[in-house]
Structure 1
Amino acid sequence: MSHLPIGPLPSELQTHPGYRRVFKPGQLTFGFIMPLEGYPSSAFPTLDDHQRLATLADEAGFSALWMRDVPFYDPNFGDTGQMLDPMVYLGFLAAHTRRIALGTAGIVLTLRDPLIVAKQAVSVDQLVQGRLLLGMSTGDRAVEYPAFGLDYDNRGERFREAFELIKTVTEQPFPRMSTTHYGTLRGDIDLIPKPAHTRIPMLVIGRARQDFAWMARHSDGWIWHLSDFRQIPDLLDAWHTSHEGNWLRPYGYGAFFDLADNPNAPLQYVGNGLRAGRKALIALLHHQQAQGVSHVAFNLKALRRPAADALAELAEFVLPQFIAE
């Protein structure tokens, strides 16, 4: 399996501050799914000290902070993410970070008006001067759809149309577009502001009920959940094959993660996450970098130690192993 780009990376992404911080050819990068704290026995984080921890992650050199979109608390699901609305939270973090990319993983596009998402996204992008990565999904909680009065079964079709609508209004002046599920643009109004750096990178989070071919044509990258690591070579082979001569979109994943106190603790799979000491973690990540994984987003919900301690250990011992010379 080849990991070489099929075609050249578009020039606007080569120079995009957020994209180039997270997706570096041949190099694995790391970020965090918010919030930056462990809450293994609760659905609700405390958000204690979250501003300072976000600043620490930025200053330490991690690549991204990712916001989840969880409109309601579903007791059967048992996790509210960072609780705060992702777009509101991005605006707050814009004022307290300087270099780290800020991303959504992901906006449940099929529960939101895409034109409002577009307006929010370009507003945040201007505030962070091009550090925004807009990841979007169809969500994984069918129970939320009745509250919005929206159809769950056609979410894949609506996702494709909303994705294209956001791309159109954020990149084209006075655009024209007719949609089936949303409105009509007749070229007589324009969405302002436009992105800070040509365009906002748009990622697919999860599968969003799309096939690889559509994702490879329309997105700027794909971030999935942790899966059986033994399947990564076959997964990446299928992903790369789907590109059909287009430039190769990066692949990353998010995972619940607990960094053990003992640096020699072995790698363990716990539920839909992993636990490891830093030495086993480094070995795993080197292996995945060689396989072609571009980014790993750690979700610290399962963490059993103070988040500041885990961040400091990762920054001191893990990050330096993956910094390009």
Structure 2
Amino acid sequence: MSSALLPDKIHNPIYRLNQHPGYRRLFAPQELTIGLIMPLETHPGRPAPTMADHASMALRADKLGFAALWLRDVPFYDPTYGDVAQIFDPIAYIGYLAGVTQNITLGTAGIVLPLREPLLLAKQIASLDHLSAGRMVLGISSGDRPADYPLFGVDFDSRGDRFREAYTVFRTVTEERFPVHDSPRFGRLNGQFELIPKPVVDRSPTIAVGQAQQSLEWIAQNLDGLIRAAPDPDYLPIIAEQWKAAVERIQGSSHFKPLGVGAFLDLADNADAPLRRMPGGFRAGRRSLIGLLEAVKSVGINHFALNPKASRRPYIEVMDELAADVLPLFPTH
């Protein structure tokens, strides 16, 4: 068994995320990359995609040079929300996509951590990190659907505390050898058991998706970045400055922790169509979208995850137009 799978010493406490292929592909200071939120299919007005050609579309996104594919965590269909994301469970699906694609980062946006058993999640994520050759990035959230919590017998109001506790267990078991830890909700580690494999580098990259009921300072201290829902463009400098200030207070002015945003996109046929807000995102022509992305980059945001599922054009047209005219301006690292 290789030393990467069974290390002979405790990981270096100086984390080497800039050596993690998936994280490095997405994030760099003063730069912006473009990712896609799954599914790679337009289905406006319908709760579920067909998932037809999903493997070939993922391979196409990889070959065209998009930075990441992001998978959401929606275990059950709730007609109140009318959305089931990419249908397939994100953990299982990333395992499949790791075998279909070669370079693109595979991320979750995000796993509802209070509803996941962190010891098993640690095993799954570390395994995916190796099976994807270091392309796995774990985005985690507290979830925004109160109706999901009773299904798992979990109190919705406890989700902030459960998030912190589960994350502590996840970090402990993935980063320490034969760890000792006692968790009120998630079991006891007594120093006699070891998680194998460990992450590809010192830790699995973890990104907060939304604030997960935590302060910005807590996220800046404990996670490796933040992805927020895209706000009104006028608010972009404010959210960027808030994140930068939190990172500086906790980590110092020279420390880089990336900020990303995610949004629905309805890409118009007319390249000159103006940018307009719609619920959760934007309708725009190509040129106004580029203007938005330039503004995003200028305030220090490092990644933009687009979800064109609400677009009225075929997804393949949207993807090809983005690849031809937008990606060259915001290239993947």
Partner secondary structure for residue 154 of structure 1: helix
Using the size of structure 2 for normalisation, the TM-score is 0.92
Measure, in 2, the Cα distance between the counterparts of 1:150 and 1:91. Answer: 28
How is 1:238-249 mapped onto 2 (pairs within 5 angstroms)? Answer: 238-243=242-247, 244-246=249-251, 247-249=255-257
Q: Structure 1 pair 182/245, CA: closer, same or farther in 2 (3 Å)?
A: closer
Q: Is the aligned partner of 1:125 residue 2:129?
A: yes
Which residue type is aligned with residue 255 of structure 1?
A
Once the two structures are TM-superposed, the CA of residue 61 in structure 1 deviates from its matched residue by 0.7
Q: Secondary structure at the match of 2:163?
A: helix
Say whether the 8 Å CA contact 1:27–1:324 is kept in structure 2: no
Displacement of 1:261: 1.2
- 2:36 is equivalent to residue 32 of structure 1: yes
- Secondary structure of the equivalent of 1:252? strand
Query: Which residue of the partner structure matches residue 295 of structure 1?
Result: 303
Whether 1:277 and 2:281 are equivalent positions in the alignment is no
2:316 to 301, 305, 308: 308
- Cα distance in 1 for partners of 2:332, 2:88 equals 35
1:73 aligns to what SS in structure 2? coil
Distance 1:275 1:322 in 2: 19
User: Equivalents in 2 of 1:27, 1:66: separation in Å?
Assistant: 19
Aligned counterparts of 1:228 and 1:114: Cα–Cα separation in 2: 35
Please report how far the alpha carbon of residue 264 of structure 1 lies from its aligned counterpart in structure 2 after TM superposition.
Answer: 1.2
**Residue from 172, 177, 196 that aligns with 1:173:** 177
**Which shows bigger deviation, 236-245 or 209-218?**
236-245
- Which segments of structure 1 move beyond 6 Å, counting only runs of 4 or more? none
* Aligned residue type for 2:162: R
In the alignment, the residues of structure 1 paired with residue 312 and residue 52 of structure 2 have an alpha-carbon distance, to the nearest angstrom, of 15
Instruction: Map Cα deviations across residues 38-83 of structure 1 (whole Å, 9 max, x no partner).
Output: 1111001111111111001101111000010001111111111001
Equivalence for 1:5: none
Distance in 2 between residues matched to 1:67 and 1:201, nearest whole Å: 15
Structure 1 residue aligned with 2:113: 109
Residue 283 of structure 2 aligns to a residue in which SS?
strand
Q: CA deviation digits over 1:186-209, x for unaligned, max 9?
A: 110011111122321011111100
How far apart, in 1, do the equivalents of 2:55 and 2:127 lie?
21
Q: 1:16 corresponds to which residue?
A: 20
Residue 319 (structure 1) aligned to one of 298, 304, 327: 327
Matched position secondary structure for 1:76: coil
Equivalent-residue separation in structure 2 for 1:115 and 1:245 (angstroms): 28
Contact 2:29 2:256 in 1 (8 A): no
Q: Is the 8 A contact 2:221 2:250 kept in 1?
A: no
Paired position in structure 2 for 1:183 = 187
Match of 2:10 in 1: none
Determine what percentage of the aligned residue pairs are the same residue.
48
Q: Aligned residue for 1:256?
A: 264
Q: In the aligned structure 2, how far is the partner of 1:266 from the partner of 1:174? A: 57
Shift of the alpha carbon at 1:322? 1.9
The match for 2:202 is 198
Q: Indicate the residue corresponding to 1:140 in structure 2.
A: 144
Shift of 1:312: 0.8
Structure 2 contact 18–24 (Cα < 8 Å) conserved: yes
Deviation at 1:94, TM superposition (A): 0.5
Q: Which runs of 5+ in 1 are unaligned?
A: 1-9
Asked whether the 8 Å contact 2:217–2:250 carries over to 1, the reply is: no
Q: Is the 8 A contact 1:37 1:303 kept in 2?
A: no
Measured in 2, the distance between the counterparts of 1:169 and 1:79 equals 33
Confirm or deny: 8 A CA contact 1:159 1:208 kept in the other structure: yes
Mark the CA change 1:148 to 1:11 in structure 2 (over 3 Å): closer, same or farther. closer
Q: Please tell me the residue identity of whatever aligns with 1:294.
A: N
- Please name the residue that 2:237 is paired with: 233
Measured after TM superposition, the shift of residue 11 of structure 1 is: 5.6
State the alpha-carbon separation in 2 of the partners of residues 22 and 64 from structure 1.
7
Q: Equivalent residue for 1:159? A: 163
CA contact (8 A) 1:39 1:302 kept: yes
| Pairing of 1:39-50 with structure 2 (within 5 A) | 39-50=43-54
User: What is the TM-score normalised by the length of structure 1?
Assistant: 0.95
Greater mean deviation of Cα atoms: 236-245 or 82-91? 236-245
Residue 220 of structure 1 deviates from its aligned partner by 0.2
Cα distance in structure 1, aligned partners of 2:37 and 2:127: 21
2:41–2:309: 8 Å Cα contact kept in structure 1?
yes
Count of aligned pairs: 316
